[in-house]
Amino acid sequence: MWEGVNNYFTEVNKFEQGDRSESVDILKSQARIMGTIEQSIIPGLPDDLALRCISKLSHGYHGKLECVSKDWRDLVRCEAYSCYKARNGWSESWLFAHSNNQLVAYDPDADRWHPLPRNEAIQDGWDHSGFACVCVSSCLLVIGGCYVSSFPREEPFVVTNVVMRFDPFKKEWKMVAGMRTPRTRFACAAVSGKVYVAGAMPGPEMNCSWFGLSYKGSFHVLRAGEQISTQAFSPLEMTWSTVVDIWPLPRKMNYAVQVMKDDRLYSIVTQVLGGSLIQTRDTDDEGEWYTLGSVPCGVVLPDDPREPQVLGHGFAALRDELYVIGGRFLKLEKSGAGGFERLSVVRVCDPLVRPLIWREAKPMYLPAGGPITGCASLEESSPP
């Protein structure tokens, strides 16, 4: 069945991991930071102590810090400041989610959601879907996808090869090198600091998609709706190979997979009769998938004792926890009429704690929420 794999995988695009000036030591970084401000950071405190105090604040509070003064705004946005934090071991994390044509970011330390600045690549009157979100080099990449017009136009949709990069410290979007081929609903993953893409669909069809995962140092490519062997690309050997299909359930089901530390796999599977399950498998790739527990829906319908089926939720791994974000569910009235309701709830658990213990994080704010069309986690690491 995979004899025509070259027709599907016409290329593997790679984005090199950039240098974040990790060779700059703490004292030089501090000197560069002081050169960006015109007066004392905090009157009455030595600048080195004031800088240390501000640097320990979660970046979820940067919006408030920037409102203090122009100097503080320039301080928290300069690259030397982010390098200073990293070299002191004060690295932080972001969780990015796209819903309702809007990108938002969650800071787990501050338990706050923040809107991202407008992506200039998205024009008014167009909805963006079928793209890939991936984090590399301490930045978020939004890659390719399909723009669907909400107004009558000559072209109902446009598939793009554009790649936009968002720097969470500078809070700026920048267009970077695009893919060689426009793609939508394709497989994408970051492996060893590089981004790989493969497969594609010709338009905004919803009945088929490609999925990409970074697993055991290789780029795994799966196609939804098919029970076939998985294709894996090895960056070290620069070769494709066919591997045993280790992924759970028929791919036409609503499910997603995350890879955590030590290549531990976790999956969320939506059941036909309602509810979702968290599943895992042993790391030897030979054991069966087994259930760890169910995901609390977060919705109680007074006229229906059954747990509603939540669709379109986001599934992400951040630090040592799993996040189930948003989604939508069908709400029926007694008359039989009904419609989909959006969820903004965010549920979090540590999959190593058994039984699973769920907590609710700060919900997404409106107009975000509902079906999640893309999500990615960014975990910064301190330089050696």
What pLDDT does 34 receive?
55
Specify the pLDDT at position 59. 75
Sequence letter at residue 67? C
Give CA–CA dist 75/382, Å, rounded: 20
pLDDT for the residue 8: 31
> What's the pTM value of the predicted model, to 2 decimals?
0.81
Which residues are CB-neighbours of 26 under 8 A, at least 6 positions away?
84, 87, 88
Pick from 113, 381, 86, 85: which is nearest to 261 by CA?
381
- Report the pLDDT value the prediction gives residue 132, as an integer from 0 to 100: 94
Cα–Cα distance for residue pair 140/64, rounded to 1 Å: 22
Q: Between β-strands 255-260 and 157-167, what pairing exists: parallel, antiparallel or unpaired?
A: unpaired
Whether residue 288 is contained in a domain is answered as yes
Counting the structural domains of the chain, the total is 2
- Nearest-angstrom CA–CA distance, 317 and 322: 5
pLDDT mean for each 10 residues of the chain (384 residues)? 33 38 42 60 83 81 82 79 75 88 90 87 80 92 88 75 89 92 92 92 64 91 70 92 69 70 87 81 75 84 70 91 91 70 93 94 88 89 48
Asked which of 87, 117, 132 is the last residue of a domain, the reply is 87
Which of 87, 102, 133 finishes a domain? 87
Say if 11 falls within a structural domain: no
Q: Per-residue DSSP letters for 97-124?
A: EEETTEEEEEETTTTEEEEPPP-TTSPT
User: What is the pLDDT at residue 382?
Assistant: 47
Last residue of a domain, one of 59, 87, 115: 87
- What is the CATH classification number for the domain harbouring 294? 2.120.10.80
- Tell me if 259 is assigned to some domain: yes
- Which residue is associated with the tokens 């024009």? 123
190 belongs to a structural domain: no
Q: Is residue 142 part of a domain?
A: no
Q: What is the end-to-end Cα distance of the chain in Å, rounded?
A: 46
Per-residue pLDDT at 366: 78
User: Is 302 within the bounds of a domain?
Assistant: yes
- HEC string of 185-203 equals CCEEEEECCEEEEECCCCC
Range of the domain at 67: 26-87
Any domain includes 56? yes
Q: Name 223's Cβ contacts closer than 8 Å, sequence gap at least 6.
A: 199, 208, 209, 210, 211, 251
Sign of dihedral through CA atoms 252, 333, 298, 347?
Answer: positive
